[in-house]
A = this chain, B = another copy of it.
Amino acid sequence: MTVEQINNKGQLRHLLTLADLERNDIEMILDRATSYLTPAGHAPARDTILRGYTVANLFFEASTRTRASFELAAKRLSADVLNLDVNTSSRAKGESVVDTIYTLQAMQVDIFVVRDASTGIPSEIARRVEPHVSVLNAGESEVSHPTQGLLDLMTIQRHKQDIDQLCVAIIGDIKHSRVARSAHEALVKFDVREIRLVGPSELLPENGFEGAARCTELSDGIRDADVVIALRIQRERFSELGQIPDTAEYFRRYGLTEESLRAARSDAIVMHPGPMNRGVEISAAVADGPRSVITEQVANGMAVRMAVLALAHEHVRDSDGRKR
């Protein structure tokens, strides 16, 4: 059973996957996010709209940057924030995820931010919570990372005019990447002209990613691309890759360098979800160079997380029985 992410008033209730959102829902989120951007060096946007609301960051999978981003977003909106880092092994011994949620819900948590290494947990939670409660997916197995997809789309939009004219190359371990999946979902909603998945054949997905081309050569993959997204490669992968035994060889074949980037358009932007392996999937010169918009991605991520928290709070606020 699919969970409705948009309530019957057209408000964002849950954010689980971009695949089921309409383009105008995404535009609503990004418009709100844009309102939370402030120029570099200026004070961050702040608001009191979540005062009296409780946000629980329920991280069953470790994360530093995504958790920090959601935590600061919630605090800048004046929420009470509860951080719960529950590793999967203790979850196995302890109570079920659903009982944890019921417990926290009884403590009057309004919004759950959930990250989990297995598939389906955020949706399962969304199915079980009371009608006024909201669930935001902060990373789910290899399948979905919607705030990352939104921040990637937002970053591209702020640099390029028309998404439907763009060619976007995503490079690396596409097969296991929730970042790639969510970016693809966001971009196809905006009729991107072309997406190319680039990487060793073992790391290219057989299914999904409708309409995307596959390339095993970097030079083919990024030729005339407007946007180049490098993904983090896990060191554990090299044991599965016949022809690429180590990071040095990976860098030689798929690393973004000033030289390899010459195949892309001269105004191409370079993105990376972080954390970066400098010298593996990207050179330091590119990461810190003029095409890189990597720190902008982080700033846009803050704005996106403030936006989804602020929008979800409107659902909570307006729910029947929610008197404030």
At the interface, yes or no: A116 with Cβ under 8 Å from chain B?
Answer: no
CB interface residues, A 165-189, toward B, < 8 Å: none
Contact code string A36-69 (vs B, CB < 8 Å = 1, else 0): 0011111110100000111010000000110011
CA–CA, A46 and B324, complex, Å: 11
- Whether A41 lies near B295 (C-beta < 8 A) is no
For A299, list chain B residues within 8 Å (CB): 106-108
Find chain B residues with CB under 8 A from A76 CB: 80
A213 lies within 8 A of chain B by Cβ: no
Each complex incorporates copies of this chain amounting to 3
Q: A275 touches which one: B38, B80, B95 (CB < 8 A)? A: B95
Inter-chain CA distance A54–B45, complex, in Å, is 12
Question: Within 8 Å CB of A259, what residues of B?
Answer: none
Decide yes or no whether A263 CB sits under 8 A from chain B.
Answer: no
A215 interfacial contact with B, CB 8 Å = no
Most buried by B among A40, A41, A75, A130: A41
Bound complex: CA A42 to CA B54 (Å)? 12
Once the chains bind, are A107 and B322 in contact (CB under 8 Å)?
no
Give the residue name and chain of the B residue nearest to A81 (CB). B75
Residues of B within 8 A of A69 (CB): 107
A104 with B68: CB separation less than 8 A: yes
A285 contacts the other chain (Cβ, under 8 Å)?
A: no
Are the CB atoms of A84 and B64 closer together than 8 Å?
yes
Q: A194 within 8 Å of B by Cβ?
A: no
A32 adjacent to chain B (CB < 8 Å): no
Residues of B within 8 A of A56 (CB): 68
Chain A residues numbered 254-297 whose CB sits less than 8 Å from any CB in chain B: 274-278, 295-297
Q: Are B41 and A321 in contact (CB under 8 A)?
A: yes
Evaluate contact between B68 and A105: CB separation under 8 angstroms: no
Q: Which residues of chain B come closer than 8 Å to A96, judged between CB atoms?
A: 278
A71 to B278, CA, bound (A): 32
The reply on A10 being an interface residue by CB < 8 A is: no
Contact A99 B323 (CB under 8 A): no
Chain B residues with Cβ below 8 Å from A275 are: 94-95, 99-100, 103
Do A99 and B41 have beta carbons less than 8 Å apart? no
Chain B's closest residue to A316 (CB) is B43
Residues on B with beta carbons closer than 8 Å to the beta carbon of A53: 43
B322 close to A41 (CB less than 8 A)? yes
Q: List 18 A-B contacts (CB under 8 A).
A: A38-B108, A41-B320, A42-B321, A42-B324, A43-B53, A43-B322, A46-B52, A64-B84, A64-B94, A72-B107, A95-B275, A96-B278, A99-B276, A102-B295, A103-B298, A106-B298, A107-B301, A108-B299
Other contacts beyond A41-B130, A65-B103, A72-B80: 10, CB < 8 A:
A38-B108, A41-B131, A41-B132, A44-B52, A69-B107, A72-B107, A72-B108, A95-B274, A99-B274, A106-B299
